[in-house]
Amino acid sequence: MPTSHHPRPKAPQRARSSTVSPTQYEFIIQTGDESSATAKQKLKTVRSHVMKNYLHQQQHKQSKDSNDSSLDTSKTDRRRSKQRTRSSRSGSHETSFSSASPTLSNTDLGLGISDEVGSLFSGFTLPMSFTGGAYALQSDFAPRGQRFALDFNFISQADEVTYYAQAYADSVVQDKKAGLLQPSFQTLNAKGETMRTVQDTIAACGNNVPPSIICSICLLALGCGEDQEWDEARDHLEAMQRLLNMRGGMQTVDFELQRAVTW
């Protein structure tokens, strides 16, 4: 009996899905539906975004490194500033002029003017040696026979103490121009040398206190005020007032010096 051949039924073909699987970079799987130019354009767009992200990360990293470096520098500057402040305080902490004590006449004390005034400046010390070459050079030109003049001249330095006081005031001004928050090393040295020469002058001048001492103490008070050392500035002003009283009042000094002191 002959076998009959029946054709096998064909399996129905699946219709190709027209939807595209969602993905971040669709152009990668849509090569058949897009032109080459479109695919290249999308590739450029992705590369552009990647490069922008990279540059942004690099800028952020550089900014962070710069901030960290600035912070380290700021910490170092503050540490050095504190060290200079401690050095300054160690040299000037003992410069109190005993302002709370009542003022007594020389007759009651039985002392000369130089003895009383000298005690006011007995605390002037500086723990560091003064190494300013310009100051040392200037003092070498001072007359050997008259170390401390008894007159005062605002144009030229009449004596050593006036010279150091003006150098200190100039150094304070330079610090402020430079934007320093604390006195520079040169300013501290000039200040200490000014206080030393004031003490030496008072010890050497006897009862005749030179006007240059008045000017020097006035400049010390001004410099301390500029550096916000208010207690020390007040002590300098009180000492200057006592010296003026010992001389017989403000009218006993040069008129230009009166203007400087009362300014």
| Same domain as 121, residue 245 | yes
The residue segments making up the domain with residue 69 are 43-86
Classify residue 115: in a domain, yes or no: yes
Same domain, yes or no: 133 and 164: yes
State how far the Cα of 255 lies from the Cα of 197, in Å rounded to an integer: 24
Most confident option among 48-57, 89-98, 121-130: 48-57
Residues 258, 215: Cα–Cα separation, whole Å: 9
Tokens of 191: 């200040």
Nearest Cα to 90, choosing from 201, 191, 234?
A: 191
pLDDT greater than 50 at residue 97:
no
Looking at residues 154-180, what average pLDDT do you find?
A: 77
56 and 150, same domain (yes or no)? no
Is residue 7 pLDDT above 80, yes or no? no
Q: How far, in Å, CA of 183 to CA of 239, rounded?
A: 23
User: What's the total number of domains in the chain?
Assistant: 2
**198 and 220 both lie in a single domain:** yes
Choose one of 86, 111, 146: the last residue of a domain: 86
pLDDT reported for residue 115:
43
Is 258 a domain residue? yes
pLDDT the model gives residue 256: 59
**Per-residue model confidence (pLDDT) at position 16:** 53
What was the pLDDT predicted at 54?
A: 78
- 86, 104, 137 - which closes a domain: 86
Residues 245 and 142 both lie in one domain:
yes
> How far is residue 20's CA from residue 141's CA, in Å, rounded to a whole number?
97
Q: Specify the pLDDT at position 198.
A: 86
- Quick one: pLDDT at residue 259? 58
Are 63 and 130 part of one and the same domain?
no
Q: Are residues 74 and 197 in the same domain?
A: no
